[in-house]
Amino acid sequence: MIRGIRGAATVERNETEDMLQVTKTLIEQIVQKNSLNPEAIAHIWITVSPDLNATFPARALRLLNGFERVPVMCAQEIPVDGGLEKCIRLMVTAETALKQDQVNHVYLGRARALRPDLAGEE
């Protein structure tokens, strides 16, 4: 079954290293918590809040073993008034045997406020 797995995290600063490290941590936790293999990932959509433009977060995935050929696309999140600032969001589409209620979405830092019902323990 193909499933969508959500993830989001915040950075403190609009700086390349912060964005790359948070993106790397986020994808590693999504992969680990859902027992994914990069080969099973169809694609990954990444959005950033409008205040983040230091780098493309997709660069972080290119540095991870097995992700060299996973299609990744970056875009800007719609600029809604009051939206969470300095936020990176991922939508991982992957083949998995997990049922929808077994999928582990990952929300880190201030992004936990986006979906407290799914955030679980950090």
- The distance in angstroms from the start CA to the end CA of the chain is 27
Residues with catalytic function? 6, 62, 74, 77, 89, 107, 115
Q: Is 6 annotated in some ligand binding site?
A: yes
Q: Is 69 annotated in some ligand binding site?
A: no
Q: Is 13 annotated in some ligand binding site?
A: no
Could you tell me which residues are annotated as the binding site for prephenate? 6, 89, 107
Could you tell me which residues are annotated as the binding site? 6, 89, 107
